[in-house]
């Protein structure tokens, strides 16, 4: 059972440039960092949802949430 970061969700209470820096500190692979702007959040994705079986959200604080996923067996070497 291997878990990896699916995405980092940051509230718009934090400025966009600071949110990008926070996400890069959490997601180490800068090549896979895809950003989407929602109504109230910035969402920085690390890996696509098709590579996971289950998801859990870890709350860092009120403005930052890390979405972790259990990788499917065929993707267990991805991080």
Mind listing the pLDDT tens digit for each residue in 23-59? 999 998 766 668 899 999 999 999 999 999 999 999 9
What pTM did the predictor assign? 0.89
Contact 68, 15 (CB under 8 A): no
The number of residues making up the chain comes to 79
| Distance between CA atoms of residues 61 and 38, nearest Å | 19
Per-residue model confidence (pLDDT) at position 79:
66
**What range does the domain containing 55 cover?**
3-75
DSSP state, 13? T
- Judge whether residue 76 has pLDDT over 90: no
Q: What is the mean pLDDT of the chain?
A: 91
Total domains present in the chain: 1
């Amino acid at each position: 059972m291997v878990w990896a970061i699916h995405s980092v969700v940051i509230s718009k209470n934090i400025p966009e440039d600071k949110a990008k820096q926070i996400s890069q500190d959490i997601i180490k692979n800068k090549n896979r960092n895809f950003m989407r702007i929602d109504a109230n959040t910035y969402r920085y994705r690390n890996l696509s949802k098709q590579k996971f079986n289950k998801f859990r959200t870890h709350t860092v604080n009120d403005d930052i949430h890390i979405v972790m996923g259990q990788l499917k067996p065929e993707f267990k070497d991805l991080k």
